[in-house]
A and B are shown apart, each in its own frame.
Chain A
Amino acid sequence: MGEVDVDPIITLIPGIDSGQRHLGFAWGPGDLLTYETQYKSQGAGSVGQACPFVHVVRKDEDIYSPILRKLFNESHYIFVGLQRIKEEVPSKNKKPQFISISKNYRSVIRACMEELQQAAVSTHDTTLATQYGNQVSILLAVELIWNLCEVLFIEAAPAGALLRHLLDWVRLHKADVDEKAQEVLQSESPVQHQAYWDVVVCYVLQGRMEEAAQMLMKQASQQPAARAAYKLMDTLLTKMPVYSPGGTQTQTEFDVRWRQWHQECNRCLEDGSFASYSQLELICRILVGDEDTLLAQRERLSTWYHFLVTRLLYCHPIVKPTELHYYAQASMDMFLDARSGPEPLDSILLAAFEFDIHQVIKDCSIALNNWWFVAHLTDLLDHCKLLQSHNLHFGSNLREFLLLEYASGLFTHHSLWQLAVDYFDHCPEFGRVYLELQIERVPLDTEHKAVKVLRICEQRQMAEQVRSICKIMAKKALRNSRLGSALSWSIRAKDAAFATLISERFLQEYCSHGTFSDLDLIDNLGSAMLLSDRLTFLGKYREFHKLYGEKRFAEGARLLLSLMTAKIAPRNFWMTLLTDALPLLEQKQVIFSAEQTYELMRCLEELTADKAAQDADRPLQVGRLSAGRTGRMWETWRAGRWDLNGPSCSRILQEDDIEATKVELLRLALARNLALAIVKEGTIEV
Chain B
Amino acid sequence: MFVARSIAADHKDLIHDVSYDFHGRRMATCSSDQSVKVWDKTESGEWHCTASWKTHSGSVWRVTWAHPEFGQVLASCSFDRTAAVWEEIVGESNDKQRGQSHWIKRTTLVDSRTSVTDVKFAPKHMGLMLTTCSADGVVRIYEAPDVMNLSQWSLQHEISCKLSCSCISWNPSSSRAHPPMIAVGSDDSSVTYTGKVQIYEYSENTRKEISSSTGPTKFEVQIVAQFDNHNSQVWRVSWNITSTLLASSGDDGCVRLWKANYMDNWKCTGILKGDGSPGNGSSGQPGALGTAGGTLAAASQNSLNGTSVGR
Q: How far is the CB of B230 from chain A (nearest CB, A)?
A: 11
Which residue of chain B is the closest to A33 with respect to CB atoms? B18
Contact assessment for A53 and B301 in the assembled complex, using a CB-CB cutoff below 8 Å: no
Contact assessment for B242 and A46 in the assembled complex, using a CB-CB cutoff below 8 Å: no
CA distance A103 to B287 in the complex (A): 31
Which residue of chain A is the closest to B59 with respect to CB atoms? A45
Q: How far is the CB of A672 from chain B (nearest CB, A)?
A: 44
Name A137's contact: one of B280, B287, B297, B311 (CB within 8 Å).
B297
Contact assessment for B274 and A28 in the assembled complex, using a CB-CB cutoff below 8 Å: no
Compute the total of residue contacts between A and B using a CB distance below 8 Å: 369
Contact assessment for B292 and A47 in the assembled complex, using a CB-CB cutoff below 8 Å: no
Number of interface residues of A (CB under 8 A): 120
Q: How far is the CB of A210 from chain B (nearest CB, A)?
A: 17
Name A24's contact: one of B18, B294, B303 (CB within 8 Å).
B18
CA distance A527 to B254 in the complex (A): 59
Contact assessment for A479 and B72 in the assembled complex, using a CB-CB cutoff below 8 Å: yes
Question: Given A11-B3, A14-B282, A15-B275, are A138 and B289 also a contact pair (CB < 8 Å)?
Answer: yes
> Does A8 touch B at the CB level, under 8 Å?
yes
CA distance A438 to B293 in the complex (A): 27
Contact assessment for B7 and A472 in the assembled complex, using a CB-CB cutoff below 8 Å: no
CA distance A51 to B18 in the complex (A): 14
Contact assessment for B307 and A117 in the assembled complex, using a CB-CB cutoff below 8 Å: yes
> Does A501 touch B at the CB level, under 8 Å?
yes
Which residue of chain A is the closest to B71 with respect to CB atoms? A475
Contact assessment for A172 and B311 in the assembled complex, using a CB-CB cutoff below 8 Å: yes
Which residue of chain A is the closest to B262 with respect to CB atoms? A401
Q: Given the complex, which residues of A lie within 8 Å of B291, measured CB to CB?
A: 9
> Does B203 touch A at the CB level, under 8 Å?
no
Q: Given the complex, which residues of B lie within 8 Å of A402, measured CB to CB?
A: 262
Which residue of chain A is the closest to B19 with respect to CB atoms? A26
User: Which residues of B70-99 are within 8 A (CB) of A?
Assistant: 70-72, 79, 88, 90
Q: Given the complex, which residues of A lie within 8 Å of B111, measured CB to CB?
A: none
Q: Given the complex, which residues of B lie within 8 Å of A175, measured CB to CB?
A: 306-308
Interface segment, B9-17, B155-163, B190-198, B211-219? B9-17
CA distance A50 to B241 in the complex (A): 29
Name A55's contact: one of B3, B58, B253, B293 (CB within 8 Å).
B3
Contact assessment for B279 and A15 in the assembled complex, using a CB-CB cutoff below 8 Å: yes
User: Which residues of B1-36 are within 8 A (CB) of A?
Assistant: 1-20, 22-25, 27, 29, 32-33
Question: Given A178-B308, A434-B242, are A130 and B288 also a contact pair (CB < 8 Å)?
Answer: yes
CA distance A476 to B257 in the complex (A): 35
Q: Given the complex, which residues of A lie within 8 Å of B223, measured CB to CB?
A: none
Name B311's contact: one of A107, A127, A362 (CB within 8 Å).
A107
Q: Given the complex, which residues of A lie within 8 Å of B124, measured CB to CB?
A: 468
Contact assessment for A134 and B6 in the assembled complex, using a CB-CB cutoff below 8 Å: no
Contact assessment for A11 and B270 in the assembled complex, using a CB-CB cutoff below 8 Å: yes
Name A140's contact: one of B269, B277, B285, B307 (CB within 8 Å).
B307
CA distance A174 to B272 in the complex (A): 40
Digit string of B251-268 for contact with A (CB within 8 Å is 1, else 0)?
111111100011110011
Q: How far is the CB of A353 from chain B (nearest CB, A)?
A: 16
Contact assessment for B281 and A438 in the assembled complex, using a CB-CB cutoff below 8 Å: no
Question: Given A23-B274, A441-B241, are A144 and B289 also a contact pair (CB < 8 Å)?
Answer: no
A residues lining the B interface (CB < 8 Å): 6, 8-39, 41, 44-60, 62, 103, 106-107, 110, 113-114, 117, 120, 127, 130-131, 133-138, 140-141, 144, 172-176, 178-179, 302-303, 343-346, 362, 365-370, 390, 392-394, 398, 401-402, 405, 408, 434, 437-438, 440-445, 464, 468, 471-472, 475-476, 479-481, 501
Given A8-B269, A141-B300, 20 more pairs with CB closer than 8 A: A9-B292, A12-B274, A16-B273, A18-B273, A22-B249, A24-B236, A39-B235, A52-B9, A53-B280, A55-B5, A134-B294, A138-B297, A140-B297, A175-B306, A365-B261, A366-B292, A368-B293, A394-B264, A437-B242, A480-B90
